[in-house]
Amino acid sequence: MASSRHVAVVTGANKGIGFAIVRGLCKQFDGDVYLTGKDEGRGMKAIEALKKEGLNPLFHQLDISDTNSIQNLQTFLQQQYNGLDILVNNAAIANKVDSPASFAEQATVILKVNFWDTLAVCEALFPLLRPHSRVVNVSSIRSATTYKECSDTIKATIRDPNIKMDQIRNLMKEFEEAAKADQVEERGFRKSAYGTSKIGVRVMSFIQQRELAKDTSRPDVIVNSCCPGYVATDMTSHKGTKTIDEGAVTPLYLALLPPNIVSPKGEYLSENTIEHWPS
């Protein structure tokens, strides 16, 4: 029999900002909070660390690059909760500075995790979202800096208020193909796979909000994207200026938006404030 409790899921939460988002949800959300991660050992260590703080997160394995793993989580949530109230898509990877891989190889890997696999998680879990649920897709300020150096045609696609999911998928594919052909800049992109993937996440969130708003059977489902700021984590080689808890502030604000608010919806936020594409 499914529990009637509310439930939150955070991806890539065994460390870094995701870990701090789980910590914040455990303190502020009235429901079960799932710290998910690729590796059960690393995930359980993170759970133990939070338990020592008197918090009570739960663990579920989730490798967003593994369709079986996504399916297992979907089935689990369906059976145990028959729904989902908060989804924070935080898991991501960035360029490895010392990687011997070519730009094209790195681009494929980065876009796969950050864009395609995040989208796959959404596609699997969105049917479970209940009325008033909240989705936060963690993007980055790099979406804006990368956008600034794209061609006018690409910028127009990104900003198109009627853009469809197929169009943003195609844009991500075009970037991957341009990378393989060593023609990223010639084809109007900036040479940043991470930044491009985060454009994808930001535009994807905008489209998801617009589509979910049409679903009258599930009112008040809200999707936003955000930048956590420059945070000291493994991703930044601990050079970031914010702590992980400071980095979690905007994702937590969006995950805990009160019922029936008018805004933000389908927006991109930094420091709890809506930001638009740069001119």
Ligand X SMILES: NC(=O)c1ccc[n+]([C@@H]2O[C@H](COP(=O)([O-])OP(=O)(O)OC[C@H]3O[C@@H](n4cnc5c(N)ncnc54)[C@H](OP(=O)(O)O)[C@@H]3O)[C@@H](O)[C@H]2O)c1
Which residues in this chain contact ligand X in the complex, by CB under 6 A?
A: 11-12, 14-18, 37-39, 42, 62-65, 90-93, 113, 117, 138, 140, 227-228, 230-231, 233-236, 240
Min dist CB 249 to ligand X, Å, is 13
Q: How far is CA 69 from CA 57, 117, 239, in A?
A: 19, 11, 32
Q: Which is nearer to ligand X, 247 or 264 (CB)?
A: 247
Min dist CB 167 to ligand X, Å, is 23
Beta pairing, strands 58-61 & 273-275: unpaired
Min dist CB 41 to ligand X, Å, is 10
- The one-letter amino acid code at 158 reads I
Rounded to an integer, what distance in angstroms lies between the CA atom of residue 65 and that of residue 114? 10
Q: How many CB atoms lie within 10 A of CB 191?
A: 15
Min dist CB 276 to ligand X, Å, is 18
Three-state secondary structure call for residue 130: strand
Q: Which is nearer to ligand X, 5 or 42 (CB)?
A: 42
User: Quick check: is 230 catalytic?
Assistant: no
Is the CB of residue 236 less than 8 Å from the CB of residue 163?
Answer: no
- For residue 32, the cross-strand partners are 7
Is the CB of residue 187 less than 8 Å from the CB of residue 157?
Answer: no
Min dist CB 236 to ligand X, Å, is 5
Q: Which is nearer to ligand X, 168 or 188 (CB)?
A: 168
Q: Which is nearer to ligand X, 90 or 224 (CB)?
A: 90
Cβ-closest position to ligand X: 16
- For residue 222, the cross-strand partners are 134
Rounded to an integer, what distance in angstroms lies between the CA atom of residue 15 and that of residue 21? 10
Q: Which is nearer to ligand X, 182 or 271 (CB)?
A: 271
Catalytic entry in 194, 230, 253, 268: 194
Enzyme catalytic residues: 194
